[in-house]
Amino acid sequence: MQKRLSAVACALFATAILSGCSDSDEPVKYVEYALQGAYSGTLSPQSKYAVIGSFNHGGSLWNVSQHERLYNWNHKAGEYSLISASAFSPDELYAATAEQQDLVLWNLSTGKPEGFWSSPAEILAMDLSPNGNYALLGLADHTAVYFDIKRGGVIQTFRHDARVKSVDLSEDALLALTGDDAYNAQLWDVQSNKVIHSLKFGNIVDTVALSPNKQLAFSSGTLDRAVIWSTQDGKVLHTLSDNRDLFGKRLSFLSARFSPDNSQLLTGTASGSVQLWSTSSGEMLRSWAIHKRDPYGPTSTGVYSVGFGSGVYYAIGSNGIINELK
């Protein structure tokens, strides 16, 4: 775990140097959810909730519109868990948190755990199916697994050539998108366990996302290209950044989410910037720089999660601060 966190820190620092200054807008509001920073942070599909894995107090669930802490979520009584990954079900009924190989399913209405399991290997990424019935886990043992999170047990195993660092499930849980350390983004049929399409990148695939209508996918590599592509034929539709210009559009994206109507894509980078894109043209519509604790310090703030709200956009930074963007 320490090696993995150190690698993330190095990526944040390198990207900060490469990205340089920007003319991005500032957040209209920012609120501290975690003192001194967070290991992880995830916004729910409608940005109603956020799960934070804090350096100091472990896991917690927040009401985003009220900026209110609802529950403290730790895996053992009297201990603070290192929450390295979290996810919400599409219907916002359940959430899951992961501490290396420990996996807990939580009921959002009661705040109580409904399942505690051990995964086959270290959990690097996670997503949930409707009603929190299943979890797609990206693992360090070169697999992604479709896991029955209510009764336990692996339903499907998707084999890769390296660690699976990023995953996303379609809202109906029929498609799975994975990104691995062997530079591949792969779209899977969950039921048949077959690869539908595969894209090759020039570096580790950090981030993947599927649109609500399952027609579009986003995939990006570390300091490499980032693309919107078609799930129908696997063809790249728009290149948002690439690896041809060292000081141009070469970025590392840590988070991405399509809008509910599929017309826009929101992305967050390792250097603390957020971008809003048109999925039809590939044009950048807006950009923001999220709040840093020390505006003059050398430490970069990565964007762990982005989300669409009602008339506002949200971004959770690795410094434990949530940003409201307009």
Q: Tell me the CATH number at 295.
A: 2.130.10.10
DSSP state at residue 162: S
pTM: 0.89
Sequence-separated (6 or more) residues with CB below 8 Å from residue 69? 33, 60, 61, 62
- Average pLDDT score, the chain: 91
Sequence-separated (6 or more) residues with CB below 8 Å from residue 214? 170, 171, 172, 174, 175, 231
Confidence of residue 44 (pLDDT cuts 50, 70, 90): very high
User: Which pLDDT score, from 0 to 100, does residue 80 have?
Assistant: 93
User: Which pLDDT score, from 0 to 100, does residue 243 have?
Assistant: 62
Model pLDDT for residues 134-144, shown as the tens digit of each residue: 999 999 999 99
Residue whose tokens read 């929101």: 266
Cβ contacts of 45-50, under 8 Å, gap ≥ 24: 45/88, 45/90, 45/92, 45/307, 46/92, 46/260, 46/307, 46/308, 46/309, 47/307, 47/308, 47/309, 47/314, 48/92, 49/88, 49/92, 49/95, 49/108, 50/305, 50/314, 50/316, 50/322
CB 168 within 8 A of CB 209: yes
User: Which pLDDT score, from 0 to 100, does residue 300 have?
Assistant: 78
CB 177 within 8 A of CB 186: yes
Q: Which two tokens stand for residue 300?
A: 């970069």
d(C-alpha 236, C-alpha 218), whole Å: 10
d(C-alpha 105, C-alpha 111), whole Å: 10
Q: Is the pLDDT of residue 246 over 60?
A: no
Q: Which two tokens stand for residue 93?
A: 């009924």
Q: Is the pLDDT of residue 5 over 80?
A: no
Residue ranges in the chain assigned as alpha helix (H):
2-19
Q: Which two tokens stand for residue 144?
A: 């992604």
Strands 113-118 and 102-107: antiparallel
Task: Write the DSSP string, 307-324.
Answer: EE-SS-EEEEETTSEEEE
Model pLDDT for residues 88-139, shown as the tens digit of each residue: 999 999 999 999 999 999 999 999 999 999 999 999 999 999 999 999 999 9
d(C-alpha 317, C-alpha 326), whole Å: 17
State how far the alpha carbon of 131 is from the alpha carbons of 88, 107, 157, 230, in Å: 10, 10, 21, 27
Domain with 320, as residue range(s), is: 2-325
d(C-alpha 209, C-alpha 219), whole Å: 7
Task: Give the chain's domain count.
Answer: 1
User: Which pLDDT score, from 0 to 100, does residue 12 have?
Assistant: 43
Model pLDDT for residues 69-78, shown as the tens digit of each residue: 999 999 998 8
Q: Is the pLDDT of residue 45 over 70?
A: yes
Query: Would you call 305 exposed, middle or buried from its count of C-beta atoms within 10 A (0-12, 13-18, 19+)?
Result: buried
